[in-house]
Amino acid sequence: MSATPPQPDIPSFNVHVAVLPRAGLPVELHADEDECARLANACGIEGFDKLEADLLVTRWRRDGVQLRGEIRAIACQQCVVTLEPLTTQLREPVSMTFLPHGSGLSRRGDESSGELILDPEGPDLPESFTGDTIDIWPVVVECLLLAIDPFPRAPDAELEGGVLEDAKGEEGEAEGEDSPFAALKALKSDAERS
């Protein structure tokens, strides 16, 4: 039996979903300096200069909850090439559905075969929750983890004689005198002359 990994120390903002107003509950989050530091640690980056979210929590079908809105942040990271500080502005839309644990609405596909049918172009599967509250900050962290570039690079950063991925995700090969590609090119030229 393995121990569960420790959860990161992040702020908490619980929404009581059993008594949501008919029009929904607006939630505005503005992380202070301490919260920004804790959330940056949870996201594995140097820091956040700003982190806020404007969300609306509404009922979804009979017993579900929907969370929609936007997260805005300024993420502080290090360029993977130069190690210089780099800031990135993030505007991430949020659209998530939550269902109580064990809800019949969360079952999809042919239950007799145990298969789960997923549509890659369709909406995400609902998340499950227990009790009558949903903590909003972990949802924000989950969205940020998907939005933050894990390998940020300054626009003008280059490696000498190395291989970098350009913005399209294709490898751009540097063919300087010391690069392995230059050595291979020289060997090919020597072989063709012989």
Q: What is the pLDDT of residue 169?
A: 46
32 and 95 in a single domain? The answer is yes
pLDDT tens track for 14-36: 999 988 999 999 999 999 999 99
Rounded distance, CA 24 to CA 187, Å? Answer: 69
Residue 148 and residue 64 in one domain: yes
Average pLDDT, the chain: 80
Residue 54, pLDDT score: 97
- Judged against a pLDDT cut of 90, whether residue 144 lies above it is answered with yes
Q: Residue 115 pLDDT more than 60? A: no
3-state secondary structure of 143: helix
Do 163 and 140 reside in the same domain of the chain? no
Q: What is the mean pLDDT of residues 43-71?
A: 94
pLDDT digits (tens, 9 = 90+) for 159-191: 665 555 444 444 444 455 566 667 667 776 666
pLDDT at 138 over 50: yes
Phi, psi angles (nearest 5°) of residue 18 = -75, -20
- Same-domain pairing of 25 and 121: yes
Number of folded domains in the chain? 2
Q: Are residues 44 and 139 in the same domain?
A: yes
Q: Which domain holds residue 24?
A: 14-156
Judge whether 3 lies within some domain: no
The enclosing H or E element of 80 equals: none
Strands 47-60 and 25-30: antiparallel
Instruction: For Cα atoms 46, 48, 51, give the angle at the middle one, nearest 5 degrees.
Output: 155
Residue 4 lies in a domain: no
Q: What is the mean pLDDT of residues 49-77?
A: 95
Residue 164 lies in a domain: yes
Q: Do 111 and 181 share a domain, yes or no?
A: no
In a shared domain, residues 73 and 140: yes
Given a cut of 90, whether residue 77 has pLDDT beyond it is yes
Q: 135 pLDDT exceeds 90?
A: yes
Same domain, 104 and 169: no
